[in-house]
Structure formats: C-alpha cells, structure tokens
Structure 1
Amino acid sequence: MIKKPVFLLLVAILFLDSCAMLQSVVKSTFPYTATMIIPASAKVDEAQNAISTGNSFDQDFTKDGNNASRISEVRIISAKLQSSDPSDYNIGNIASLRVYMAKNDGSEEVMVAIRKDIQPNAGNSIVLDIDNSHFLDELVRQPSVRIRIAYRLRKAATTDVSLKVSLGIGSHPTN
C-alpha cells in the first residue's frame, strides 16, 4: 500500500507534467479572430488591404503569469473567412486573398493563409489554404496581433462589407 505523502507526491508530479499538455490543448482550442472591412469604395481588380487586430478568448500567450512557457511550435492549423455584415455577402465577389499575421506595429509579418481560386458562387463562408511553414511563437506572445488581408475584388459591393477571419492555432507542449 502506498503511503499518503508518496501518493500525493506522485499526483503532484503527474499534474505538473500534464500542465504542458493542458496548455497546448487550451491554446489550440480558441482561434484568433479579426473583423475585416471591405469598403464599398474598393476598386475591382486592384490590390487592396484590410487590417484589424486579432483577438482570442485565451489571448494570454505571454510567459509572465501563466504556463505559456510550456508550449512551443505555435502554427496555424486552420483558417476560415465568413461574411458577417451583410451575413449573406457572397465571398465569391473576392477573386483571391492572402492573410498575414504580424506584431501590432506591422513588423515580422508572415503569410498564414491564402486562397487564389475563390469561385464566383462561393457563398458566405470559405475555408482558406493554410501556410503553416512558420512558427508563430513570438507573434502570439505579443500583447496584440495584427491581421491583414490582401485581396482582389471580382465584383464591387454596394455597401461596406464586414468579414470575420478565424485562424486556428496549434501548439506543442515543451518538456
């Protein structure tokens, strides 16, 4: 029979070892989202940009005050674009787009998603092709993250359009 102090020590060791896995799961559960505005004045077939701040439910990736030091190799694992206002806006009015992530001042920008071939009848939601070749550890540990989309319109909008970009992130536990 295991004595109570030894048992408690084993439980504590298992718990502390699982913190890295728990933090990895938590950080991977909540996506970064950003609301992008495409103005009605945006020109068709010209390169355009929209910039917003990315937000996440569990936005605290800093190493001070939590277990973020227990995760590493943060990458994009999914990306989605959805119209929010008007909710029935056809994303097929956009011919192509790229999504970038950067520090709040725009430095260290990296492309995280792309869609070159948006079909004209795409509807109000599309999945983007991810570029997970970059580790985003330093970017997501910033107090705020800048999300930029570079897009080319196929068809002009009659009103300003609000789009929601959702970037799912994944991380690995460190030892």
Structure 2
Amino acid sequence: MPVERGKDLTKELERTLRDLASMEVVIGIPSEAGAHGDSGLTNAALGYIHEYGAPEANIPARPFLFPGIERIQDKITDELAKGASRAVEATVSSGNRTAGKAEGAKALQRVGLLAQSSVRGVITDGIAPPLAARTVYARLHRKKNRRSPGPMTPLVDTGKLRESITYIVRPKED
C-alpha cells in the first residue's frame, strides 16, 4: 500500500496551540454586576468581603470562589485536555487553525460553565460559619410582611450575589 504525502500542517498546529495558550477563562463577579441593595456596595465588592472577611465589621471569611473551583479541578483538567485534543483534530481535518481555535474556545466556555455552577453551588450548599443570631433576627423582622422569612443560609438573602457569579473567555493579559 503506497503512502501518500499530505499537506504539512505543522505550522497550523503550532498556531492552533499558540492560539489556545493565549486564551483564558476567568470566573468571578464582574464590577459591572451592579449594586447590592441599598448599601452602595457592588456585588463584586461584597463578594470580596465575604471571600476574605472583614474583621473590623464583624464579618467572617466565607470563601466560596476558590473552594468552588478547587472542588472541580479534575473536571477542569479533563475538559481542557479534551478541548485541546478536539482543537488539534479540527485543525488537521480542516487544514487550518480557525476550526481548532473555535474548538478551543468552546472548551473554555464549557470550563467556565462548570466553574460558575460549582461556585454557585458552594453558596447554595451553605458556608460555615452559620449566620449570627442578630443576622437571623434582622432577616426575620425585615421580611415580616412576606409569607416566608427567606433563606437562612450564609451569603444567600436575595440571591443577587450568587446570580452575579459568571465567567468570561478572553485573551490572556500579560
């Protein structure tokens, strides 16, 4: 059986891999996520305060962002490996890097969705320490005209902070 020589795709594959390495997915709360209630704080600022705590305001650290990402680290690694493989296959089958770059971007989108869901899940599952008695009291009395006092889960009152957690795929910054 004769061997046919095809087009040399080495440069296209190198470019595909360089394209993939130049992109990143960022998970968090964008500064544009809006204000949180009447406090004047943005959801991004509130997220930072809860992630690291504010001892001067008696607010304990309740990390949610890093634990949310850490708990799916293996899934992230697997998805990125599959994405790189699909990107290489797409480049080889199409003969150009555009298809490979698109596959890589899809993989980063999937990683972003996985991370967003995991971080939101950490909040939904509840974070230690539990709410202080005065916080529970304030929630019960602030919402007394409603049928239910709402959730008594730390970081969940209106749900706006949790909903503001998102991701973006972008070129890496230097």
Larger-gyration structure (1/2): 2
Higher strand share: 1
Identify whether the pair has TM-score above 0.5, normalized to the shorter chain: no
Higher helix share: 2
Give the TM-score normalised by the residue count of structure 1. 0.31
Give the TM-score normalised by the residue count of structure 2. 0.31
Structure possessing the higher relative contact order (Cα contacts under 8 Å, 6 or more residues apart): 1
